[in-house]
Amino acid sequence: MAKNGQPRVLLVEDEPAQRTVLAYNLEAEGFAVTQADNGEDAMVLVDEEEPDIIILDWMMPKVSGIEVCRR
């Protein structure tokens, strides 16, 4: 949980429009959202942010969502 009690979501999506809409709606529902646009950045943010849940695209540049899950 984030310091303010909000559940933390890591949103990983390489399409900016989709990422923006998803983040907007998650934040409107009270989630603290951190965003990444590729799998490589997502893996760093998992360690730094320790999210409660990850919403992960599977076809992305650099490292695929499937590979992120494997690691």
Find the CATH number of the domain harbouring 65: 3.40.50.2300
Global pTM?
0.89
Helix, strand and coil percent figures for the chain, each rounded to 5: 40, 20, 40
Residue 59 lies in a domain: yes
Q: What is the distance between the terminal CA atoms of the chain, rounded to a whole angstrom?
A: 22
Which two tokens mark 8? Answer: 């933390």
Each of the 71 residues of the chain gets a pLDDT tens digit; together they read 666 889 999 999 999 999 999 999 999 999 999 999 999 999 999 999 999 999 999 998 888 888 988 88
Q: Which domain holds residue 31?
A: 8-70
In angstroms, the CA 48 to CA 50 distance is 6
Domains identified in the chain, total number? 1
Residue 62 lies in a domain: yes
Cβ atoms of residues 46 and 22 within 8 Å: no
